[in-house]
Structure 1
């Protein structure tokens, strides 16, 4: 699966973002950030074909989105909105199974294979004990998992979530963010989501799509944040108990971003490594040599070869 935004201009009577470019591949988790009103929801709705592009092209697996109808788009992209309407009298199993009907007429009866897949999704989301509960009986965190389950049942290669952690406490935010990353990596999907809690959400995203000053900036999360240092206040989040940090000699911002990047991609003991920030480069001391690197993408390549 590949999503490509090519020189897109989005908005209404007045453009919100002009000449934006971005590319995502299977397994990518991409976080959309930006101030209120800059176009985050507009971007999502444009990708979904709900708002027309002003200029440029959006391509899914090299198919031009403008040439796909809503049903064809729904077979490639499922969506979870932060303010989803909760259907009356629906159980957990009912709503998750409902995701299957994008592939069938509304009167169709789900077959044995479909029902088994719905059961597997319920089990994988830790919702088995709630499967016959009505939706309004659930906690906010479990309700959000059910809507994600419906998107999984839709069985699309890409899932878009608009503010999936809104109104959740920190424990449930971590649960949902972990779930999204696991889905992307283990079920080989693209996850694109927006969040106001981006300082925490960045810990789980591979890439960032930053909307700022009518421009779209995209790339490896830590590279984007380093290029826009006004965004961050240094803070080290410990999200992986297996991760042991290497020695990092750097200003607080660079240290935070490297720490974030390493524990996301290398959840293991890295105490034998040493990173020193010097004149815009990371000096990386490995067992047998020293490397000088100025971006996180090259660090990923280097450490993947050695680990």
Structure 2
């Protein structure tokens, strides 16, 4: 695959660096998930790639050229962008907003041709926005407005598309539809897609690579390799919001494991590490030092644990 984006010894931030010594490269045809907690530098990195933030140290090469040599217009031709928060151009319809994506390549007085119009119609259909084609943007739901902005970026037809939290306002069906469409664009049309999200589980199905910002560093690599190096991603304690709660050992498939963990930490404010809970053939078993009990529901598990805890007081 052709290398398109190359970061060398890059440090980003404002007066103080948020992320330091970044060395990573991306290729056309790849889908990449950018992860990290709020405030760690995801949006700052995106803005630095767009030459909207000053580089603190190092270099960014876009299509083999240092971005220092790019004008803002030239960068816009290479990278389409969808921010999670964007100004809404009132009095414009969905179709007119998506049309704007074409004008990045043309003078303002240029009229889009039949091929462009056909491309826009196809995008509107793929984004399931046909019934809103002539609807003014201020009358759209947050989800459909987000899809319209994504449509504008796709219409731009740039080699790279960056999306900052693109699925925030989307329901599950639309989230999957957008991510499938982005992956299809990457693979069939050789686009580089970089999208940020808090939901790391999206990576397993849609992302070839992960960029994970943590502790002022960026880990970059194949999705599966990053997940294997950071197995806490696959452990439900990442959802721990009850610091007095200590989980029992849970032996169950991932979904059941995560749901049981969530259920227990909502209902117990104690250390349950002396217990083990297993799941097999639709039955749960609670194992303590003194007994093993079988249960068919989470409510039964809760009652069993409460009984066992009371018996030790």
Would you say same fold, with TM above 0.5?
A: yes
Alignment of 1:1-307 (within 5 A): 2-233=4-235
- Secondary structure at 2:23 match in 1: strand
Give the conservation status (yes or no) of the 8 Å contact 2:146–2:169: no
Give the conservation status (yes or no) of the 8 Å contact 2:13–2:41: yes
CA distance in 2: counterparts of 1:143 and 1:179, whole angstroms: 17
CA distance in 2: counterparts of 1:104 and 1:213, whole angstroms: 42
Structure 2: 5+ residue stretches without partners: 238-250, 258-313
Q: Deviations over 1:224-252 (max 9, x none)?
A: 121122233369xxxxxxxxxxxxxx997
CA distance in 1: counterparts of 2:235 and 2:165, whole angstroms: 21
Give the conservation status (yes or no) of the 8 Å contact 1:158–1:190: yes
CA distance in 2: counterparts of 1:222 and 1:147, whole angstroms: 30
Report the alpha carbon displacement of residue 130 of structure 1 after superposing the two structures with TM: 2.4
CA distance in 2: counterparts of 1:223 and 1:251, whole angstroms: 23
CA distance in 2: counterparts of 1:183 and 1:139, whole angstroms: 25
Q: Deviations over 1:204-231 (max 9, x none)?
A: 1110001111111101111112112223
- What is the count of residue pairs matched by the alignment? 240
CA distance in 1: counterparts of 2:191 and 2:176, whole angstroms: 19
Report the alpha carbon displacement of residue 139 of structure 1 after superposing the two structures with TM: 3.4
Give the conservation status (yes or no) of the 8 Å contact 1:26–1:188: yes
Report the alpha carbon displacement of residue 80 of structure 1 after superposing the two structures with TM: 0.3
CA distance in 1: counterparts of 2:31 and 2:235, whole angstroms: 22
CA distance in 2: counterparts of 1:153 and 1:169, whole angstroms: 23
Q: TM-score, normalised by structure 1?
A: 0.72
**Residues 251 and 221 of structure 1, relative CA distance in 2, 3 Å threshold:** farther
Report the alpha carbon displacement of residue 167 of structure 1 after superposing the two structures with TM: 2.9
> Which residue matches 2:268?
none
CA distance in 1: counterparts of 2:40 and 2:121, whole angstroms: 40
CA distance in 2: counterparts of 1:201 and 1:134, whole angstroms: 34
Q: Deviations over 1:37-91 (max 9, x none)?
A: 1110000000011011111111122111111010000010000011122221211
- Secondary structure at 1:223 match in 2: helix
CA distance in 2: counterparts of 1:27 and 1:139, whole angstroms: 31
**Residues 252 and 16 of structure 1, relative CA distance in 2, 3 Å threshold:** farther
Structure 1: 5+ residue stretches without partners: 236-249, 257-307
- Secondary structure at 2:128 match in 1: coil
Q: Deviations over 1:240-287 (max 9, x none)?
A: xxxxxxxxxx9978xx9xxxxxxxxxxxxxxxxxxxxxxxxxxxxxxx
CA distance in 1: counterparts of 2:216 and 2:199, whole angstroms: 21
**Residues 201 and 224 of structure 1, relative CA distance in 2, 3 Å threshold:** closer
CA distance in 2: counterparts of 1:45 and 1:226, whole angstroms: 29
